[in-house]
Structure 1
Amino acid sequence: MQQVTLGRTGITVNKNGFGALPIQRVSTEYAGMLLKKAYANGIRYFDTARSYTDSEEKIGLALSDVRKEIIIATKTPSTTVEGFWNDLETSLRLLKTDYIDVYQFHNPSFCPKPGDGTGLYEAMLEAKKQGKIRFIGITNHRLHVAEEAVRSGLYDTLQFPFCYLATEKDLALVNLCKQQNVGFISMKALSGGLITNSAAAYAWQAKFDHVLPIWGVQRECELDEFLSYQDNPPVMTEEFEQLMEKDRTELIGDFCRACGYCMPCPKGIEISQCARMAQLIRRSPSAGFLTEESQAMMMKIEECIGCGACKKKCPYGLDTPTLLKKNLADYKEILAGTKTI
């Protein structure tokens, strides 16, 4: 079982983190089963956030009896000191703990620092002084914010999207974390579902000995897949290399990563699904994307009012309204039978 140490934190865990965003979509009982099974099979790092509705509560209910044996990372999206403390106290209560191992600023548009006028970093320091958090982290989807955070020396960990579609700049950021002894937590290792071969993704992540991938888990079959790799880790093969090169050719560029920061849409459009339907429908079994429910979801794009809010909020600078229109046109052609999948 491969282990990874998160930089200067000294936290050493199985190189298989549990991403708890998806468990907000399942029942408390089912989530509890997943969490307990993950723990029973050696997973010790559990990532959640105040923004993930009842994810924290589910972790608290399922794992409070083994609290001292696990690492809990959660996040605050707050931009005010008052909100920071409210979020922290709420997280502690729901997680049934008196401390958070890694407390992170959740995708801020800037890098919080002492003296910046927000008081946010000072609040982090005070929380650490009080023993309510052990290490200070930050998550982001913006490369310049992530780089600034790593170079600042203020952060113990960085959580950032990282998969085999990574650019040279992304790879440079990962190497910078190693140089600065900052723990690197890899999110979106399957690129929001666009990468469909988990074994190839796992083998690629294994090349980076200081990187901890967190896998979003919603179904037991998904958990079983990743657990099976612990004792029989996939190795990089020529077949995997060819697959990754094909994926890079098809996906690198202006595609939606499904980070969700463009949401909610004032017209109720499911942007993070609709703006990447062209890729999803071609890379996964298509039947699930051609149901009446999926068709209704896609047709909501016709109600777009062109407000541009999604475009302004996209951390990747995508022209989201244009992406939505292109995906809808493609989808209609598939439904009409004038374009093949």
Structure 2
Amino acid sequence: MKMITLGTTGITVPQNAFGALPVQRVNMDTAVQILRRAYEGGMRFFDTARAYSDSEEKLGHAFEGMRDKIFIASKTMGRTPKDFKEQLDTSLRLLKTDYLDIYQFHCVDQCYRPGDGTGMYECMLEAKEQGKIRHIGVTSHKLDVAKECIESGLYETLQFPFSYISTEKELELVRMCKEHNMGFIAMKGLAGGLINNSRAAFAFMTQFDHVLPIWGIQKMSELEEWLSYMDQPPALDDEILSFIEKEKSELIGDFCRGCGYCMPCPAGILINNCARMSLMVRRAPSKAWLNETWQENMKKIEGCLHCNQCMKKCPYQLNTPELLQKNYEDYKKILAGEVQV
């Protein structure tokens, strides 16, 4: 198993890390069992966030008394110094620790800097001086903001969506981080469910020696699949490369990544799922996508206000109303049996 060092942090861990957003969807006992098994299987880096409901609390229960054996990264959605400090103290209390290895500004719309008038970066510096955090990171879905954060030299890690269907623009971010000796934490390594081949997803990441993928895990069966690669990591061989090229050719063009930056929708449309429903029913097949609840959700597309707020907020510059309509028309054909999936 390849070991990854996250830039200047000095944090060195197996290139196989745990994304703890999904454990908020399972009960405490199940989450603790999964998290402890992840540690037993060799995972050492665990990424969570104050915004992930009780995810931090579950990590705190799972790893109490073994803080020095793992690395924990969390995030703040705070946009004022007051909210920042409250969220940090809450995270530390729930995680049952007195420090975080990496603390990240979560889903930022700007690159916080010292003296910018917000006081936010100063909060990070103060928390670091107090020993509450060890390294400063940032997460984003916006390419221009991510580039600015890299070039600023103020952050030690960047967390950004990255997978084998990422475009040249995302690959440029990875290269920039390498040039700036900055760790890259890859979220959405399965493209929000569009990728269903874990071997290919894992093998793709192995070509980057500063990229740490955090796999979102909520089932023991999913965890065991990732852990199986600890001793036998899949190689990026000709077979997998050919498979990835085929996947990319099928997904070329405009498609919704499901990041949710467009939300909320004034018409109540669940854009981050409805705008990619055609892909989800084919690539992540589940009868649940065709149940009454999702039929009602898709029908809301008929009430689109064409206000274009979603287009303005989309970091990928998609024509979201057009995507919604295309997906809705396809969905209706699937329900009518005119299209087989």
Confirm whether residue 210 of structure 1 aligns to residue 214 of structure 2: no
| TM-fit CA distance, 1:166 | 2.2
SS of equivalent to 2:215: strand
Matches within 5 A, 1:72-87: 72-87=72-87
Partner of 1:93: 93
CA distance in 2, matches of 1:167, 1:275: 19
> Partner letter of residue 269 of structure 2?
I
**1:324 partner amino acid:** L
Q: In structure 2, give the amino acid aligned to 1:5.
A: T
Q: How does 1:37-186 map to 2 (within 5 A)?
A: 37-186=37-186
Amino acid at match of 2:101: D
Asked if the contact 2:311/2:319 (under 8 Å) is kept, the reply is yes
TM-score, normalised to structure 1's length? 0.95
| Deviation of the 1:268 alpha carbon | 3.8
Q: Distance in 1 between matches of 2:100 and 2:182?
A: 18
Name the structure 2 match of 1:324.
324
Distance in 1, matches of 2:11 and 2:58, equals 23
For these two proteins, the number of residue pairs brought into alignment is 341
- Over 3 Å counting, the alpha-carbon distance change for 1:122 and 1:277 in structure 2 is same
Q: Is the 8 Å Cα contact of residues 206 and 236 (structure 2) preserved in structure 1?
A: no
Q: Tell me if the contact between 2:265 and 2:310 (Cα under 8 Å) persists in the aligned partners.
A: yes
Question: Identity across aligned pairs (percent)?
Answer: 59
Cα distance, 1:66 vs. partner? 1.4
What's the CA shift string for 1:243-292, capped at 9, x where partnerless? 21122112233211111222333444322221111111111335332233
The AA in structure 1 aligned to 2:27 is S
For the residue of structure 2 that corresponds to 1:200, the secondary structure is helix
Structure-2 separation of matches of 1:296 and 1:282: 19
State the alpha-carbon separation in 2 of the partners of residues 97 and 195 from structure 1: 35
SS in 2 for 1:65: coil
- Which secondary structure does the structure 2 equivalent of 1:8 belong to? helix
Map of 1:301 onto structure 2? 301
Relative to structure 2, which stretch is displaced further, 320-329 or 68-77?
320-329
What does the per-residue CA deviation read over 1:82-113, in whole Å, with 9 as the maximum and x for residues that have no partner? 11111111111111111111000112111101
The amino acid across from 1:298 in the alignment is M
Which residue matches 1:2?
2
CA offset at residue 21 of structure 1?
Answer: 0.8
Q: C-alpha separation between the residues in 2 aligned to 1:308 and 1:77?
A: 25
Gaps of at least 5 residues in structure 2 are none
Question: For residue 32 of structure 1, what is the aligned residue in structure 2?
Answer: 32
C-alpha distance 169-307 of structure 1, shift in aligned 2 (>3 A): closer
Distance 1:252 1:67 in 2: 43
Alpha-carbon distance between aligned partners in 2 of 1:221 and 1:309, rounded to the nearest angstrom: 39
Cα deviation for residue 307 of structure 1 reads 4.1
Query: 2:255 maps to what in 1?
Result: 255
Q: 1:201 & 1:7 partners in 2: Cα distance? A: 22
Other structure's SS at 2:32 match:
helix
Q: For residues 201 and 299 of structure 2, what CA distance do their matches in structure 1 show?
A: 33
2:267 & 2:31 partners in 1: Cα distance? 31
Match of 1:278 in 2: 278
Q: Decide whether aligned partners of structure 1 residues 32 and 104 sit closer, same or farther in structure 2, where only a CA change above 3 A counts.
A: same
Amino acid at match of 1:124: M
Aligned equivalents of 1:96, 1:315: Cα separation in 2: 36
Q: TM-score, normalised by structure 2?
A: 0.95
Give secondary structure in 1 for the equivalent of 2:185.
Answer: strand
3-state SS of 1:285 partner: coil
The code of the aligned residue for 1:184 comes to F
Q: Structure 1 CA distance, aligned partners of 2:171 and 2:83?
A: 34
Please report how far the alpha carbon of residue 234 of structure 1 lies from its aligned counterpart in structure 2 after TM superposition. 0.8
In structure 2, do the counterparts of structure 1 residues 28 and 262 end up closer, same or farther at CA, with 3 Å as the change threshold? farther
User: Which range is displaced more, 287-296 or 142-151?
Assistant: 287-296
Q: 1:286-319 deviations in whole A, cap 9, x for unaligned?
A: 5332233332332233343444443333222223
Structure 1: unaligned runs, 5 residues or longer: none
Tell whether 2:189 aligns with 1:189.
Answer: yes
Deviations 1:215-238 (A, max 9, x none): 000111111110001111111233
1:155-199 deviations in whole A, cap 9, x for unaligned? 111111111112223222212211211111111111101011010
Assess, with a 3 A threshold, how the Cα gap between structure 1 residues 264 and 53 changes in structure 2: closer, same or farther. farther
